Amino acid sequence: MSLSSMPEQPKVHALNWSRERWELWCRENKLPRFLGKQVQKWMLQKSCFDPELFSDVSKAGRELLKSSFQWDIGLTVSQTLASADGSEKILFRTHDGKYAECVVMPTENRVTMCVSSQVGCRMACTFCQTGKIGFTRHLTAAEIVGQILLGQRVLEDRGAPRTRVTNVVFMGMGEPLDNYDEVVNACRHMISSDGLGLSKHKVTVSTCGLIPEIERLGRDLPVRLAISLHSPDQESRSKMMPVNRRYPLADLKETLLRYPVGNRHGITFEYVMIDGVNDSLAHAKKLVKFLHGLKAKVNLIPMNEHPGSPMKESAAERVSDFQKYLAVRSIPAPVRYSKGQDVSAACGQLATKKRDELNQTPRSVALTRRRELIAESTPR
């Protein structure tokens, strides 16, 4: 095949390159080495995605930028669902027709964004809807940061008093450390003074426990770390989270003891409370033992039940007893309810619905609609 008849390579997005990659490209093209920072500023601070308008870049630089990169983030809002609690769930579509989710949660003092790092997830945690979908693909750094821009736009359209995202948590679809390079690059865009300028204390990467990547993260980034723990017991955690067979709790603890918490406000442990699975006082006792020696906070999250799962939310009394057991041992353990429960806000629920919808044959669409009509016309 001659070169001219080869298919054109898709262009890389301007937000997908690391600082080092930009510097190399600038050197090769005899452009100022800070051009990458200028591009980041135009896109993330001024929401300008047209290189022709980059007034502080030379004409030659603007032309080369325009012809070399992709400028459209490629995410579109497919559906938004506003919850009574003020959060808004966004189902977004990628340029190649995949669906994932993010949630924007505005309060009086801040706007928190829960972002996805992958379409689906390969960690297969039994209590998680995303785990059931399986893995489709990683999201790029541009697509991860793009969710924040989408969230801000949704709030602007709504006329919200606060639209600028102040906090980011990686607790949407996917295991962020399974997509290490893109997630680290996205975090750098978030905390850079040339990017979104968020405080490093307000970006939290949450992982199910990929030990080698936790160690790398401790060296590479100053952001906060959260561990999806969900059980302090090796056997029951392995049943809930297959990753625990590869990286057992004892090794995870060793890694966390060495983790450079320094000025990172300690480590947050996420603990989904599931009825009869991990919510007994015996579990609480083991949890205290596991956390010994760590600067830790625990978020207790009553399970968000979803169709097809036999697991149920723990009773309020059990959650309260568990919390008290930790509190008297000086472990803060606020109860956090998933935002947007009325609009399928638990990670993966909306994308699963969309995927099922897309996979339906015309016959099954008709059957579903018929069932809905019967349900609608049946007196309650």
Residues touching ligand SF4, count (CB under 6 A): 13
Contact mark string toward ligand SF4, 330..349, x via CB under 6 A:
-----------------x--
Which run of H or E residues covers position 323?
helix 316-327
Residue 347 is among the residues annotated as catalytic for this protein? yes
Whole-number minimum distance, CB 351 to ligand SF4, in Å? 11
Whole-number minimum distance, CB 208 to ligand SF4, in Å? 4
Of 28, 48, 101, 313, the active-site residue reads 101
Per DSSP, which regions of 107-215 are E strands?
111-114, 118-120, 135-138, 167-170, 203-207
The answer to whether 92 and 101 are in contact (CB under 8 A) is yes
Whole-number minimum distance, CB 242 to ligand SF4, in Å? 9
Residue 254 is among the residues annotated as catalytic for this protein? no
Nearest CB to ligand SF4, comparing residues 118 and 140: 118
Taking CB under 6 A as the criterion, which residues in 9-68 touch ligand SF4? none
Contact mark string toward ligand SF4, 168..197, x via CB under 6 A:
-----xxx----------------------
**Identity of the amino acid at 170:** F
Q: Identify which of 226, 230, 287, 277 has the alpha carbon closest to the alpha carbon of residue 256.
A: 226
Residue 175's φ and ψ, nearest 5 degrees, are -100, 110
| Neighbour tally for 19: CB within 10 Å | 15
Nearest CB to ligand SF4, comparing residues 129 and 152: 129
Please name the residue that has the structure tokens 């949630």.
Answer: 103
Taking CB under 6 A as the criterion, which residues in 249-288 touch ligand SF4? none
- ∠ at Cα 213 (207, 216), nearest 5°? 125
Of 102, 121, 208, 347, the active-site residue reads 347
Whole-number minimum distance, CB 60 to ligand SF4, in Å? 45
Q: Output the CA–CA distances (angstroms, integers) from residue 159 to 44, 153, 156, in the order listed.
A: 20, 10, 5
Stretch of residues binding ligand SF4 (CB under 6 A), selected from 116-124, 148-156, 286-294, 323-331: 116-124
**Is residue 91 near ligand SF4 by the rule CB under 6 A?**
no
Beta-bridge partners for 270: 228, 299
Q: Identify which of 167, 255, 236, 233 has the alpha carbon closest to the alpha carbon of residue 205.
A: 167
The answer to whether 142 and 72 are in contact (CB under 8 A) is no
Contact mark string toward ligand SF4, 133..172, x via CB under 6 A:
----------------------------------------
Q: Which residues bind ligand SF4 (CB under 6 A)?
A: 121, 123-125, 128, 130-131, 173-175, 208, 228, 347
List residues with catalytic annotation: 101, 347
